[in-house]
């Protein structure tokens, strides 16, 4: 990516499920992840999107995170943008 370009993260057509905020939700996500990956085509329930972005050489410019529905197991999402470090 060139200077001044941003990496938007959040695509409503392809959502990556991520760790929730609540310890009980995180425990469920971690324990169900192997089965979830088999039935969902490789999707993960327990990714740290902010960590993956930062560890890939990007600085997060703006990030909003929230549960997108009452089904907390699969509804915590990050929305934002990042730029190359």
7 in a structural domain: no
80 in a structural domain: yes
6 in a structural domain: no
Q: What is the DSSP pairing of strand 7-9 with strand 76-84?
A: antiparallel
Q: What is the pLDDT of residues 3-34, one digit of tens each?
A: 566 777 765 555 566 888 889 999 999 999 99
54 in a structural domain: yes
5 in a structural domain: no
Confidence of residue 1 (pLDDT cuts 50, 70, 90): very low
Judge if pTM exceeds 0.85: no
Q: Total structural domains in the chain?
A: 1
10 in a structural domain: no
55 in a structural domain: yes
Cβ atoms of 40 and 14 closer than 8 Å: no
Enclosing domain of residue 66: 17-84
Q: What is the pLDDT of residues 29-63, one digit of tens each?
A: 999 999 999 998 888 888 888 888 899 999 988 88
3-state secondary structure of 4: coil
42 in a structural domain: yes
Q: Give yes or no for residue 75 having a pLDDT over 90.
A: no
pLDDT of residue 14: 53
């Amino acid at each position: 990516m060139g200077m001044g370009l941003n990496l938007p993260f959040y695509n409503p057509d392809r959502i990556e499920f991520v760790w929730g905020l609540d310890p009980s939700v995180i425990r469920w996500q971690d324990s169900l992840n192997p089965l979830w990956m088999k039935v969902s085509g490789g999707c993960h329930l327990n990714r740290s999107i902010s960590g993956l972005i930062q560890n890939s050489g990007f600085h997060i410019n703006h990030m909003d995170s929230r549960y997108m529905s009452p089904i907390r197991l699969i509804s915590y999402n990050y929305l934002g943008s990042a730029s190359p470090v």
